[in-house]
Chain A
């Protein structure tokens, strides 16, 4: 069966520090991968998605970036965090398009 791993679960970072969140999927190949952010009490905002290795589509230009170095690995990064980057970051995958999205457990990021 397929599983999605996302870590860390919680992160507290100072303003201006770098960020790296990792997401991996097991039990499938060539998944479509997604990064979302959910601010407190708000809906899910699509940040990036990828349909293949090295292919990244950006939805919201900001100080975040994403990379897909391997088929089942998706990384969200920032060189310098802002206070507004705080939120709940969720990684998701789909086996096809459009299809059911499956979410990782999420990373709760607090930028102080």
Chain B
């Protein structure tokens, strides 16, 4: 099993739709998790941190399921500007971070 696994997509959704991505991780000892957004040919930027059961920020909700070892990202009322690749990141040990390969989202007009 990969340390961090994501469905590469693309997820093509119409504007206003709700879309959810999952990210599975293998290290059951992981305590913190991150979702980053990466636009084409740009650097990743932090979207949300998840330290306990979940986190919510406006239209974005991240949830953690420790029993099944996955985190999810829910985007409500999708905007065209949400089109990007969403990276799941799980710390590994004290200093390292494992990045998923990302899930591509395309929001269609």
- Please give the distance in Å from A109's CB to the nearest CB on chain B: 13
Q: Which residues from A are CB-within-8-Å of B34?
A: 100-101
Q: Between A and B, how many residue pairs show CB distances below 8 Å?
A: 48
Interface residues on B, range: 20 to 34
Assess the B101–A46 pair: CB atoms within 8 A: no
Task: Tell me the residues in window 36-55 of chain B with beta carbons closer than 8 Å to chain A beta carbons.
Answer: 41-46, 49
Interface residues on A, range: 20 to 34
Roughly how many angstroms separate A86 CA and B94 CA in the complex, as a whole number? Answer: 29
Q: Which residues from A are CB-within-8-Å of B43?
A: 90, 103-106
Assess the A101–B97 pair: CB atoms within 8 A: yes
Check if A102 is an interface residue, CB within 8 A of chain B: yes
Assess the A43–B89 pair: CB atoms within 8 A: no
Check if A24 is an interface residue, CB within 8 A of chain B: no
What residues make up the interface of A, taking CB atoms closer than 8 Å to B? 32, 34, 36, 42-44, 46, 49, 51, 57, 59, 88, 90, 97-98, 100-106, 108
Query: Given A44-B44, A90-B43, 15 more contacts at CB 8 Å?
Result: A32-B95, A43-B100, A43-B101, A44-B99, A46-B96, A57-B95, A90-B44, A97-B91, A97-B95, A98-B97, A101-B46, A101-B97, A103-B44, A105-B42, A106-B42
